[in-house]
Amino acid sequence: MKSVENQVMALAGMFQSATMIEQLARKGDINQAAFDCCIDSLFTFESNSVLDIYGDLAGLNRGFQALVDYLSGRNSQTGKSVAYYIMSMMKLSTNLIRQDALSNQLHNDLQNIQRNSIDFELSRNSLISKIDSLYQQTISQLQPRIVVRGEQIILSDADNAARVRALILAGIRSAVLWHQLGGSKWKLIFSRKKYVDCAKRLLSSF
């Protein structure tokens, strides 16, 4: 795929994580297929293409739709929250890239989690719990701290809090990929129409 399509997939990965965080924090539920796509992307360490990281285009459906809505200017209060999560993920990814030791720790620990998941046949909840613990040991050391707003009764549930942190980590993973592919905040501003047109084209392909 062309460079712009690769950038749009990585951007859609961020948008998908952000919209899942918003949905979970406000309503207490998630689209399981979209959630699984985000989480599984954390465990693709070597790939021949950007598409391999996310499995297939259909897995990024929610991300493509959110990208189109936001970059087309169809913003709501929800859109503002999603934008906040996106910008925070980008800043955290930049800070993470600058810290080699922390980046290496994150990479190695994710590989260990993947091995344990296979060797011990971990349940999905156990996998999310391990990702949550890793997030608190690594990403929590970085600034800015992401403040997730939603229903307190939902966010105070330990399982929901773990899912939120796992989604933030998945969003940061997509943000790192976005930077590696040449993405930047300036491109997000000046290439909005190009990204929207590309996302619409990719949406129509499945």
Could you give the domains of the chain?
A: 3-203 (1.10.3890.10)
Query: Residue 31 pLDDT more than 70?
Result: yes
- The pLDDT assigned to 52 comes to 95
Per-residue pLDDT of 74-131, as tens digits, reads: 766 567 899 999 999 999 999 999 999 999 999 999 999 999 998 888 899 999 999 9
Q: What is the mean pLDDT of the chain?
A: 93
Q: What is the percent of the chain with per-residue pLDDT over 70, rounded to a whole number?
A: 98
Residue 148 CA: distances (Å) to CA of 75, 167, 185: 18, 12, 22
Is residue 205 a contact partner of residue 14, using CB atoms and an 8 Å limit?
Answer: no
Per-residue pLDDT of 141-152, as tens digits, reads: 899 999 999 999
* pTM of the entire predicted model: 0.96
Residue with tokens 């994150």: 106
- Three-state DSSP state, 206: coil
Per-residue pLDDT of 37-54, as tens digits, reads: 999 999 998 888 999 999
- The pLDDT assigned to 46 comes to 86
- The pLDDT assigned to 117 comes to 92
Residue 107 CA: distances (Å) to CA of 94, 114, 134, 178: 16, 11, 10, 17
Per-residue pLDDT of 167-178, as tens digits, reads: 999 999 999 999
**Which positions ≥6 away from 90 have C-beta within 8 Å?**
14, 175, 178, 185
Pull the structure tokens for residue 55: 């499995």
